[in-house]
A = this chain, B = another copy of it.
C-alpha cells in the first residue's frame, strides 16, 4: 500500500513541473506545498529529485492519457471527439491562467539534452499517447500507418498550440489548431472511404 505522503509528493511535483518545468522547481518547494517533511522525500525517492521528477512525469502522462477514452467514448465519432478535445483544452487553459497546458512538454524540452532518464520518461509518455489516439483512429477504419501519422499530427497540433497559447495568453492558437486537427481527421476518413 502506497503511503499518502509519497502520493502527495508526486501529485504536487507533477503540478509544479507543469507550470515551472523541472529545473525551475526546487525540492524544497515541493515538500513545502505537499506539507511533507523534507526527509520523507529522500526516504520515498532514494534517487532524489530525478526519480521524483520521472515518476511525476509518468503519473501526469497516465492521468492525461485517461482523457482519451473519456472524451472519445462520450463523443459520437472521432471527428467530434477531436473537436471536443481541443475545445476542452482551450477552456481549461483560460480558466487556470494558462497554467494547465501539457503537463510534460516543458520538462521534455528542458531535459532532452541533459537528463537521459527524464527524457526517456517523457518519450514513453508521448509514445503511449500516440498509441492511445492512434488506436482510436484505427478503430474508426483508418489504416495503421496512416492512423499513426494522423495521431502525430493531432498531438503536435495540440502541443504546438499550447506553446503559442501560453506565450500569447490566448486561446486562439488552440481553437485554430483544433479546426485544423478536425480537418485532418476528416481528410483521413475520406481517403479511407473512397479508396
- CB neighbours (8 Å) of A162 from chain B are 109, 160
**Given A157-B157, A168-B127, also A163-B110 (CB < 8 A):** no
Contact call B152/A21, Cβ cutoff below 8 A: no
Contact residues on A (Cβ < 8 Å of other chain), bracket: 35 or more
Contact call B168/A164, Cβ cutoff below 8 A: no
Q: Mark A135-150, 1 if CB is under 8 A from B, else 0.
A: 0000000000000110
- Interface set, chain A 107-128, CB cutoff 8 A to B: 108-110, 112-114, 119, 122-123, 126-127
- CB neighbours (8 Å) of A148 from chain B are 176
**Given A153-B180, A156-B173, also A114-B163 (CB < 8 A):** no
Question: Please, how many angstroms separate the alpha-carbon atoms of A192 and B114 in the complex?
Answer: 46
**Given A23-B21, A158-B160, also A167-B119 (CB < 8 A):** yes
Which residues from chain A sit less than 8 Å from chain B, CB to CB?
A: 19-21, 23-24, 97-99, 101-102, 105-106, 108-110, 112-114, 119, 122-123, 126-127, 148-149, 152-153, 155-164, 166-169, 172-173, 176-177, 179-180, 183-184, 187
